[in-house]
Amino acid sequence: MKKAMIIGLILSFFPSCGKGSQKDFLGAANAEMKVYRIAATVQGSVLSMLKEEGEAVEKDEVIAVVDTVPVGLSLKEIRAGADQVDRQYEAKQAEIEALKSDVAAMKRERDRTQGLLAKGSATVQSLDNLESQYASGLLKQKAAELALRSLASQKEIMKAREEQAQNQLSRCFVASPCRGVVLARYRNEGEIASPSSPLFELGASDTVQADFFLPQVFLSGIALGQQLRVRLDQGKKGEFLPARVSWISNTAEFSPKNIQTRESRNGLFFRVRVLADNKEGKLKRGMPVEIWR
C-alpha cells in the first residue's frame, strides 16, 4: 500500500498537457517576486506618496518625497558660508600679490643702496633701514601665504559640508531600486517617515522565481544553471517562458522518519528554485505555473 501511494505521488507530477512529452514535466509552483521594503533614509514629514498599490514602477523612479525644507535651509546656509570663504580667499590672493610687489621693490631699493654705499653715496643707517623693511615684508608675505592655505582648507571643509547636505537632500527623494509593482503602501502624505519604517513594499517584476518540489529519483537530472521552462496556462497548449535553475536545497522535505528502503528514498522531495525572465510582465505574483525541461 505504501509503495503504491509513493508511485501515485510521483506519477502525479506528469500531467498530460502542454508542449512536449510527459517526461519533461517536473513540477508545479506559484510564481513569486523578489520583495523590497522601501524606507526613507532621512526622518521627516512625507510630502508626497507618488504610487498606489498595484501600480507599476521603473528602476530609479521617485516614488515618495520627504520634507526637504530643513535640509534645503541648511544647504543654503552652507553655500552662503562657502561664498564668504571664497571672497576671503580671493582677497588674500590679491593681498599676497601686493606684498610680493612691495617686497620686490624693497629688494631693488636695498640692492641699489648697497651699490651707493660702496661708492660712498649712501649711509649704513639707510641700508639697515631698507634691510629691516625688506625682512618685514618677507614675513608679512609668508604670513599671508599661511593664511591663504588656511582659507584653502576652509574651502575644502565647506565643499565637503555642501556635498553632505546635497546627499541628504537627494535622500529626501525616495527612488525605486527595481522595475516592478507596488505590493503595499504603508504611509500617507503628512505622516512621519523614518529609516525604521517602510513606505512601500515593492515586487521586482523583471525576473520572477518559482519553487517546486522534485522527487529524489529525478534530482540527479537537475543542475544549477540548467535551462528549464515555465509553463503558463495560456490557450489550449499553454505558453512557455525560458527559466534557469538558481538554487537546489541540500536537505530533503516531506521525508519519512526512517529511511531504510529504496521505496522510502523515493518519497524524498527536494526544493528547487528557477528564475524566469519576466520583462513582458506575463508572470504575476501568486500565479500557478508548471516547470518543464
Measure the CA–CA gap between 124 and 250, rounded to whole angstroms: 99
In this structure, which long-range contacts are made by residues 216-223, counting pairs with CB atoms below 8 Å and at least 24 apart in sequence? 216/252, 216/265, 216/266, 216/267, 216/268, 216/269, 216/270, 217/10, 217/265, 217/266, 218/26, 219/248, 219/270, 222/26, 222/248, 222/272
pTM of the predicted model, to two decimals?
0.68
At residue 22, the pLDDT reads 66
Say which residue the cell 534645503 belongs to: 72
Residue 292 pairs with which residues in a beta bridge?
Answer: 25, 229
Q: Which three cell numbers stand for residue 106?
A: 624693497
- Consecutive sets of 10 residues in the chain, 293 residues long: mean pLDDT of each? 38 46 83 94 94 94 95 94 96 95 94 88 89 94 95 96 95 94 95 93 93 87 93 80 93 61 62 91 90 91
Report pLDDT for 6.
Answer: 39
pLDDT of residue 193: 94
Q: What DSSP line would sit under the chain, residue for residue?
A: -HHHHHHHHHHTT--S-SSS-GGGEEEEEEEEEEEEEEE-SS-EEEEEE---TT-EE-TT-EEEEE--HHHHHHHHHHHHHHHHHHHHHHHHHHHHHHHHHHHHHHHHHHHHHHHHHHHTSS-HHHHHHHHHHHHHHHHHHHHHHHHHHHHHHHHHHHHHHHHHHHHHHHHTEEE-SSSEEEEEE---TTSEEBTTBEEEEEEEEEEEEEEEEEEGGGGGG--TT-EEEEEE--TTT-EEEEEEEEEEEEEEES--S---SHHHHTT-EEEEEEEEE-TT----TT-EEEEE-
Task: Mention every residue, 6+ apart, whose C-beta is less than 8 A from residue 132.
Answer: none
Q: In 10 A of CB 115, how many CB atoms? A: 11
CA–CA–CA angle 19, 24, 30 (5° rounding):
85
**Contact residues for 273 (Cβ-Cβ < 8 A; gap 6+):** 209, 210, 211, 245, 246, 247, 248
Question: What confidence score (pLDDT) does residue 5 get?
Answer: 35
Q: Which domains does the chain have, with CATH numbers?
A: 2-66+182-292 (2.40.30.170), 69-171 (1.10.287)
Give the integer Cα–Cα distance in Å for 42 and 51: 19
* C-alpha atoms less than 13 angstroms from C-alpha of 277 in its C-beta half-sphere: 7
